[in-house]
Copies of this chain bind each other. A is one copy, B any other.
Amino acid sequence: MTDLKFDVLGIGNAIADVFAHIESDFLVNENLIKGSMRLIDTEEATRLYGKMGSAVRMSGGSAGNTIAGLASLGGQAAYIGKVADDELGEAYGHDMRGIGAHFATAPLKNSSPTARSMILITPDGERTMNTYLGACTELTPDDIDPQVVGASAITYMEGYLWDPPAAKEAFRRAMRLAHDAGRQTALTLSDSFCVDRYRDEFLGLVKDGSVDILFANEHELRALYQTADLDTAINAVREDAKLAVVTLGEKGSLSVTREETHHVHAAPVDNVVDLTGAGDLFASGFLYGLARDYDLPRCASLGGLAAAEVISHVGARPERSLKDLALQNGFEI
C-alpha cells in the first residue's frame, strides 16, 4: 500500500470562471433565468462570450475550489481534472500548483478548449451561470492515477462529474481504487438540478457504500429524496449514508451518522458579499478535519470558518491564509 501523502484528492471539472457585470435587461433579452446554471455548447459559448462586456477571469470548478481551500489550510492536497493545452488551461495549472497542490493530469491536445463558466452578475449581486464543459468532457479513467488515489486519505468528487460520460467512468474507477487502498471516498451533490439528472445513480452510490461521505446542501438533499421536508430527507440519509454532511447556510451544518447528529452553528460574518464557493470551502475545512482525525463537530467548525472567509469577498477561492485564520480561531492546525 502506498504511503499516505495527501489529505485529500479532489476530482472535478476543471473550469475557468469568466465573470461579467451586466444589466438585468441582458438576461431578459437572452431569455435567461436569473440565478440558474445551464450547460451550453461551443456555438452558444462563443455567441454569448461575444456579447459579454469586460470580463474577470479566475480558476474555479467546485472541487478545484475545495482543494484551493484545503491547501490554504496547510493541508496536503492533490487534484485531478482535465484542461486543454491552451492559456486558460495553463492558468488553471499555475493556480493549482501555485497554492501547493499536486496537479499532474495531462492536458488535452488538439481538441476542445479548457472549460469555462460564463457568470453574469446583475446589479443585485445574483449570478447566472452558463457553463461550457469543453476539455472536461474528455476526462477518462486513464487520468485517474492509482498512486495518487492510494496516497490520499480521502478522494473527493463532485456530482458535476456525472455529466460527461467518460468522466463518470473515471469517477467510478477512482472510488474503486480508493477503497482497494483502504481509503475513504466523498461525494458532493453539486446542485439540485444535477441531483434531478442522476438521482438514482447517486442514491445507489451512497446506499452500496461506494461513497463514504456525502456532502449536500438542504436543497440538494431534499432533491435527492424528492421531499419538501428537510427532516424527512435527513432521516432518510441517516439510514443510507455512513456520514452525511448537510450545509444549512446561515443556520450552520448538520453531521449525520446512524449513531449521532451534530448541529454546528455558522461562523459569524460581518458582511456577506458573495455566496459563491461557500459549500466548496465548507468542504475544505470539513475534509481537512476528517483527514486529521478531528471529531465531527470540530470538522464542521473548521468548515464553517473557511466558508465564512470566502463569502466575505467576491470569488470562490480564499483571499487570505486559512491556516492563519484557523490558528487565530483556536484550531491547532
Query: How far is A86 from B113 in the complex, measured between Cα atoms in Å?
Result: 14
Cβ-defined contact, A57 with B54, below 8 A: no
Q: Which residue of B lies closest to A315 (CB)?
A: B56
In chain A, positions 1-36 with a C-beta closer than 8 Å to chain B are 20-21, 23
B56–A55 touching, CB < 8 Å: no
B87, B98, B318: the one contacting A55 at CB < 8 Å is B98
Please report whether the interface of chain A is mostly helix, strand, loop or mixed according to DSSP. Answer: mixed
- How far, in whole Å, are A96 and B56 apart by their CA atoms in the complex? 13
Residues on B with C-beta less than 8 A from A324 are 23
**What is the CA–CA distance of A317 and B98 in the complex, to the nearest angstrom?**
26
Residues of B within 8 A of A330 (CB): none
Residue of B nearest to A95 (CB): B54
Q: Which residues of B sit under 8 angstroms from A157, Cβ to Cβ?
A: none
Write out, one digit per residue, whether chain A residues 71-104 have a CB within 8 A of any chain B CB (1) or not (0): 0000000000000001110010011101100000
Check if A227 is an interface residue, CB within 8 A of chain B: no
Residues of B within 8 A of A23 (CB): 320-321, 324
Q: List 13 A-B contacts (CB under 8 A).
A: A20-B98, A21-B319, A50-B98, A51-B98, A55-B91, A55-B95, A56-B56, A56-B57, A56-B58, A56-B315, A87-B87, A123-B320, A313-B314
Q: Which of A87, A121, A313, A315 has the most CB of B within 10 A?
A: A87
B59 adjacent to A58 (CB under 8 Å): no
| Contact B98–A57 (Cβ < 8 Å) | no
Cα–Cα distance between A86 and B90 once the two chains are bound (Å): 12
Is A45 located at the chain interface by the 8 A CB criterion? no
A96: chain B residues within 8 A (beta carbon): 54
Residues of B within 8 A of A98 (CB): 20, 50-55
Q: How far is the CA of A95 from the CA of B88 in the complex (A)?
A: 16
Contact A49 B319 (CB under 8 A): no
How far in angstroms is the closest Cβ of chain B from A64? 9
Residue A68 is within 8 A (CB to CB) of chain B in the complex: yes
Q: How far is the CA of A130 from the CA of B134 in the complex (A)?
A: 33
- Residue among A21, A51, A59 with the most chain B CB within 10 A? A21
How many Å lie between the Cα of A23 and that of B321 in the bound state? 7
B57 touches A91 (CB 8 A): yes
Q: How far is the CA of A129 from the CA of B88 in the complex (A)?
A: 22
Do B54 and A55 touch across chains, with their CB atoms under 8 A apart? no
CB distance from A323 to the nearest CB of B (A): 10
C-alpha spacing A56/B313, complex, angstroms: 13
Q: Are B59 and A54 in contact (CB under 8 A)?
A: yes
Q: Distance in Å from the Cβ of A35 to the closest Cβ of chain B?
A: 18
A25 nearest in chain B by CB position: B321
A55, chain B: closest CB distance, angstroms: 6
Cβ-defined contact, A54 with B58, below 8 A: yes
